[in-house]
Chain A
Amino acid sequence: MPPSDRSTITAGLSFADFAATRDPHLRDLLVEAHLGLAHQLARRFANRGETHEDLVQVASVALIHAVDRFDPERGFEFSTFATRTILGELKRHFRDKGWAVRAPRRIQELYLELGAATDALTQELGHPPTVPELAARTGASEEAVLEAVEAGQAYRATSIDAPDRREGTIASRLGQIDAGFDGAEDHQVLMDALALLPEREQRILHLRYVDGLTQSQIAEQIGVSQMHVSRLLTASIARLREPFTEA
């Protein structure tokens, strides 16, 4: 079976069928079938200052985005496409969220400035900026930009299965989580929570996570400030998270 065919069939579910029919039930099944991947990738970003629940939330929304956007005719595996989509959202989450690790104030300020400059330059240039372009826009050196990116996103090169300074591994201190655990239930809870959000918040989430618009683009489209969009997104995600934290 050629790769393009393999990529369309997962556990009896067909992305080709979904592409043709956009059947919501099939979409739900495809999402549920891949929730394990979202959990795995969320665990990869453990120990970076964000709760596992938050990261699973971000990864799950990105997975839905990936299912909606995947084109089986393009000939690559869904898992590769979904991994890229989920990693992109997790990166954006850290970029938007800031960090929970210690960093010099000048680096924190530059990092925040870089976020705004990246969004602005991406729109101006039509592609993500280079480090020299960011340095020119912010007045910082290229080295400072790189340092801020490193410090700001608090990325650590550790798998949770890698050893750390304490005994054992990070994973050994976490509860054992089956990659496929509660997947269907998680998805249903998420869908139910989404349906309870006000229409405007649902639309904003859709624009952000399905259409991939920046907060500034959303702000322009619905006629509010970027800061207001940011607050609405934060509040919406918090509401989506509630059923999981209550469980």
Chain B
Amino acid sequence: MSPEPTGSTGSGPFASAAQVELTLSVADDLLVLARLTVSAVATRAGFDIEEIEDLRLAVDELCLQVLLGRRTGRLVLAMAAEPGCIDVWSRYEGTEEARPDGLDDEGDLSERILDALVDEHGPFVHDGRPGAFLTKRRALAGG
């Protein structure tokens, strides 16, 4: 599966490729739902338990990158999967400005963690709003 929003000007997957879309209030406690949902979608795509654990950590990082320290508003995640591959997109909906120190020195670490956990990741823009995506493929699926 090719990550549709790899470019910075695409409309993103929210209108077309996404099979599952989840909207959450910005609250730590609700991110468990994001991880559970991604885990369930990845299960249906045939990922093993180790890969799912990687995805759960990666989704945490994706959310951190999008929230950038914001405490209000909504977090939207979209997912699309096919056997051996899953794409996850995340974007922020709200009016709060990102905190300048939202990721601070952890920004590089976040990138490094995603480098280690997924096959592709990066920013995208949806309706003028920035978001972030990741793609993970099963190792056994030839990726």
Contact = CB atoms under 8 A, between A and B. Distances in A.
Given A87-B57, A150-B39, A130 B47 contact: yes
B59 to A, nearest CB: 8
A83 interface: yes
A157 interface: yes
A25 B12 CA distance: 50
Contacts of A130: 43, 46-49
Nearest to A132: B43
Given A83-B115, A127-B140, A134-B49, A150 B40 contact: no
B30 to A, nearest CB: 9
B71 A163 contact: yes
A122 B73 CA distance: 42
A73 interface: no
Interface in A5-55: 40-41, 44
A212 interface: no
Interface in A137-185: 142-143, 146-147, 149-150, 153, 155-159, 161-165, 179
B36 A146 contact: yes
A14 to B, nearest CB: 21
B53 interface: yes
A87 B53 CA distance: 10
A245 interface: no
Contacts of A83: 112-113, 115-116
Counting chain A CB atoms within 10 Å of each CB, the highest count among B28, B105, B140 belongs to B28
Counting chain A CB atoms within 10 Å of each CB, the highest count among B32, B103, B112, B140 belongs to B112
B109 A41 contact: yes
A197 interface: no
A131 B113 contact: no
B39 A156 contact: no
Contact of A155 (B49, B51, B57, B71): B57
B63 interface: yes
B64 A159 contact: yes
Given A150-B36, A161-B101, A129 B43 contact: no
B51 A128 contact: yes
Contacts of B49: 118, 128-131, 134, 149
Nearest to A157: B31
Interface of B: 28, 31-32, 34-36, 39-40, 43, 46-54, 56-57, 59-60, 63-64, 67, 69, 71, 101-106, 109-110, 112-113, 115-117, 140
Given A130-B43, A146-B36, 10 more contacts: A40-B109, A44-B106, A80-B112, A118-B49, A127-B48, A130-B48, A142-B43, A149-B52, A149-B56, A150-B35
22 contacts: A40-B106, A44-B106, A83-B115, A84-B117, A87-B113, A91-B53, A127-B48, A127-B140, A130-B48, A131-B39, A131-B43, A146-B40, A150-B35, A150-B36, A150-B39, A156-B28, A157-B34, A158-B60, A161-B69, A161-B102, A161-B104, A161-B106
